[in-house]
Amino acid sequence: MTRLCNLCFHCAIALWLPLFAPVFCGAILAAAPLRAETILPRPYAELKQVLDRIEGFAAWPARPEPGHLLRAPHRGDGITVASHFAGQSPAVLTRRAGGRFDTLTRARAHAPLVIETGPPGQGISIAQHRGFGSNAALPIGPDGFDAISGRGEGSLAILFDHDQAAVGLLVHADYADPLGARPAPRGTVEVILLDRAGQVLARDVTPLSEGITALGYGTGDGAPRIAGLVVLNTDPGGIAVDDILFARAAVMGGMQQSPHNRRSGSWQSDRPAILSPHAWKTAQILSVQP
């Protein structure tokens, strides 16, 4: 009798298995992480050799800091630069040691990505930057364009015309201080990478030091998936952003070759992993005006 019951049980499994197998397999796949979505750090110097476009804000007339305050997004060849994306929630971060910075209480954006500037008096400025020796973008923070404490403490958003398999950028954190009058920078830069639907692909937090920090990112499978990114920081002196690397044309099967408009010098980012976002942020919501 026991053998008969066992036989009937196994026959029932054999009969129903083809029907339920897709459900079980789907559940297993849904629970497994999608490695294709992985964003990995990439050396900036390496990306500079394979990506065919560098946005250096050279189209603007050279003007010393604070430079040109933009009341609309900066438009380049295949790229748009402003403050944040529609659907994100801008806020103000006040550090205990002093200083106010732009942050986001909601990083996910509306689909498709739409770039925005503001609030009034903030946005970004384009200036001849002493650290880079060329034009660069300074995100304007809560203290505004007219205050030194507002220049570089804001958020900066980058929207690409085509989804990217890899991107890079240079961040300048502080000038040299030969007299030692300022404390050593203790801030960080956070890069939030998003897809075209506004979903957050990764958030990377990197400690800043004096001078230039090179950042590079790429998708784990080499497929174009990065549609935009937001750069935030908590550096006491603020930041400037320059030499944004990307592929100008839509990529099919591989990254573009023969980069144009290269600049001298190279910096490299060899960090081991993408880190988790700030856990210590406390923010006050901004009243963003239309």
The 3-class SS string of the chain reads CHHHHHHHHHHHHHHHHHHHHHHHHHHHHHHCCCHHHCEEECCHHHHHHHCCEEECCCCCCCCECCCEECCCCEEECCEEEECEECCCEEEEEECCCCCEEEEEEECCCCCCCCEECCCCCCCEEEEEECCCCEEEEEEECCCCCCCHHHECCCCEEEEEEEEECEEEEEEECCCCCCCCCCCCCCCEEEEEEECCCCCEEEEEEEECCCCEEEEEEEECCCCCCEEEEEEEECCCCCCEEEEEEECCCCCCCCCCCCCCCCCCCCCCCCCCCCCCCCCCCCEEECCCCC
9 and 119 share one domain: no
Contact of 211 with 172, CB cutoff 8 Å: yes
84 and 159 share one domain: yes
For residue range 179-227, list pLDDT tens digits in order.
556 665 579 999 999 999 999 999 999 999 889 999 999 999 999 999 9
Q: How many distinct structural domains can be found in the chain?
A: 2
The CA-based angle 178-139-63, given to 5 degrees, is 70
Domain membership of residue 290 (yes or no) is no
Asked if pLDDT for residue 280 goes beyond 60, the answer is no
48 and 23 share one domain: no
97 and 11 share one domain: no
Domain membership of residue 133 (yes or no) is yes
pTM exceeds cut of 0.85: no
CA distance 139 to 172: 12
Asked if pLDDT for residue 264 goes beyond 60, the answer is no
23 and 160 share one domain: no
Give me the mean pLDDT over the 50-55 stretch. Answer: 97
Asked if pLDDT for residue 229 goes beyond 60, the answer is yes
Predicted confidence band at 80 (pLDDT cuts at 50, 70, 90)?
very high
The CA-based angle 51-56-111, given to 5 degrees, is 70
CA distance 87 to 78: 22
Q: Sign of the CA dihedral 218, 258, 44, 240?
A: negative
Domain membership of residue 279 (yes or no) is yes
7 and 143 share one domain: no
118 and 157 share one domain: yes
Instruction: Tell me which residue range forms the domain holding 9.
Output: 1-32
15 and 47 share one domain: no
Higher pLDDT, 48 or 175: 48
For residue range 93-128, list pLDDT tens digits in order.
998 877 899 999 999 999 999 999 988 888 999 999
Quote the pLDDT of residue 183: 61
Domain membership of residue 122 (yes or no) is yes
CA distance 105 to 112: 20
Domain membership of residue 276 (yes or no) is yes
